[in-house]
A and B are shown apart, each in its own frame.
Chain A
Amino acid sequence: MLQVEQLQKAFDGFQAIADAHLSVPKGEVVAVIGPNGAGKSTLFNLITGHLQADSGHVRFKGEEITKLSPFKICHKGMARSFQLINIFSSLTVFENVQTSVLAIHRLDKNFFRPSRKLLVEETLEVLDSFGLYDFKDRSCSSLSYGDQKVLEIAIALGSKPELLLLDEPTAGMSSEETRKIVNLIKRLSQEKGLTILLTEHDMELVFDVAQKIMVLHQGRTIAQGLPEAIRNDKAVQNAYLGETG
């Protein structure tokens, strides 16, 4: 479903992504792991068009998307959540998700219908599946950190993606909240057949949900394969031991 080849990106001479490779098969949950600063978020930004690659290719469903802008990539069926909470701060919880539902239905430029009556059911369905239904009329900035993080993912789901990218979906969450997210990821993958690409520092979570793992180290893909193979990979062990002591 997604292929990344020989991707490179430098910031003012600093090579954040030196040589990244990644292949995400349809229907699978794939995790990108690596120490802090390895370039995981940068890789995501390159895939979703928020950053322009210096060289290399990103293909989605067989189509080159390397130079497309984020909104076009979204309409092709790829949605993402962000590592840091990135929501529409003055809108209600309902409106946060509705905005993305409206956009994917290309109703965002409709002038003369009241938005509060449009795509309500579809929006509520998304909110319900994330346990946010009871908060729907609340201002999103009044939610707890954990709930905002959940909303962050719900907004992405509003785009009805075929491929969902989650950048550290459980960062900063309590263990109970983390368990909720894990269940959610499994449900999306198993029941809806969603293809998911995620990054995480929580290795327990990664080995629990991922069918395939890619290891990024100083902007390079140093391993890619089944979780078992990754666990026993010498280069990976060195990279991690080298960084975390």
Chain B
Amino acid sequence: MSTKKFSNYLGLGLAVAGILILLILPNMLSQYYVYLIATVFTTALLASSLNLVLGYGGLLHLHHGVFFGVGAYTVAIVMTKTSWPFAVAVLLAPIIAALIALVIGWFCVRLRGLYFGMLTLALGQLVWAIVYRWNALTEGDNGIHAIPVPEFLTSINSVYYTTLVVLVLALIILYVINKSPFGLTLLATRDNPVRSESVGINVKRHRLIAFVIAGFFSGIAGVLFVLVERSVAPSLLFWNKSAEILIMCLMGGLTVFMGPTLGAGILVLLSMVVGLYTEYWLLVLGLLLLILVLFLPQGILGYAMEKYDKRRSIGGEN
């Protein structure tokens, strides 16, 4: 019991220390790195939202990037095609992302395993095609650039702090959901959908709700993306973006809450470094995936937690 408390405090202490470091970091780094870390925050939220469905729900969600793209495009379109205030754009983005998740999810939760995955992919690509083709609304292939944002969000440091605050708040909410009856029940539907049904759980409904929540938070990440980049393009909704998020979750560990955040950090920084030397980022990504699946299927944090748990239980017996 006391070791458990200790590890809780350890986790909390690490989180607080981490946040403190992140708060002072912009003063010590060049603008480019501040921008890069803001991108990590955005991506971490995106990956963590996916993990609700992927890791905790056990659903092979292959195209989560779509809701991210929809959120980003919502902000872009509201800010460039209407005279509505920024706040409306920010509110609308996750709501529309969640609505699209509701429609896509409604079909997908009827299927299982790989078929679920294939349908997320197919319907997601459909949304991509719409964004790509609907010139009048989305500017098609060109994307939307120089998206206006409020004055106080124009400096990279303020963007950095905004994305940090939003990420921390969103992670807290996702954590609370994980520890709630909804989260526990989601694990149960992952472990054993048949038994879940027979103890009175509406499994399809439960999965659909998880899918929509994930879409909502992905939409929030889309808002952050616009703050960081000030532009959107259809490639945001293309499937390889989703594959990247999936690999982030796998890399960090599906069963550890902070796993996707770690994975996002590693992949974003790595893609920057790799980009300096070669154009074949996708190839590097493929190799990484191979290594992960073969040697570290539980992910980096998953592996670390296993080691930590083992040491603790051995220590406890002495």
Contacts and interface: CB of A to CB of B under 8 A. Distances in A.
Contact of A48 (B180, B188, B198): B198
B181 interface: yes
Contacts of A111: 176-177, 180, 182
Given A71-B202, A88-B191, A91-B191, A109 B181 contact: yes
A6 B214 CA distance: 46
B312 interface: no
Interface in B174-209: 176-177, 179-185, 187-188, 190-192, 194-203, 206, 209
Contact of B181 (A80, A91, A118, A156): A118
Band of interface residues on A: 35 or more
A112 B176 contact: yes
Contact of B200 (A95, A104, A115, A116): A104
A79 interface: yes
A90 interface: yes
Contacts of A102: 181, 184-185
B183 A69 contact: no
Given A86-B192, A86-B194, A155 B182 contact: no
A87 B191 CA distance: 8
B188 A99 contact: yes
A80 B198 contact: yes
Contacts of B206: 108-109
Nearest to B205: A109
A50 interface: yes
Given A86-B192, A114-B179, A155 B199 contact: yes
A83 B180 CA distance: 31
B192 A87 contact: yes
A35 to B, nearest CB: 25
A103 B182 CA distance: 10
Interface in A83-131: 86-91, 95, 98-100, 102-104, 107-116, 118
Nearest to A101: B199
B105 to A, nearest CB: 15
A99 B198 contact: no
A193 interface: no
Nearest to A119: B181
B180 A75 contact: no
Nearest to B197: A70
Contact of B182 (A74, A75, A104, A108): A108
A144 to B, nearest CB: 19
Contact of A158 (B180, B185, B194, B199): B199
Given A71-B203, A74-B199, 14 more contacts: A48-B198, A50-B197, A74-B200, A86-B195, A87-B192, A88-B188, A95-B187, A99-B184, A99-B185, A99-B188, A107-B181, A108-B182, A112-B177, A158-B199
By Cβ-Cβ distance, the 7 closest A-B pairs, closest first, are: A100-B199, A74-B200, A103-B200, A70-B197, A108-B185, A88-B191, A115-B181
Interface of B: 176-177, 179-185, 187-188, 190-192, 194-203, 206, 209
7 contacts: A71-B202, A74-B197, A91-B191, A99-B184, A99-B188, A109-B182, A113-B181
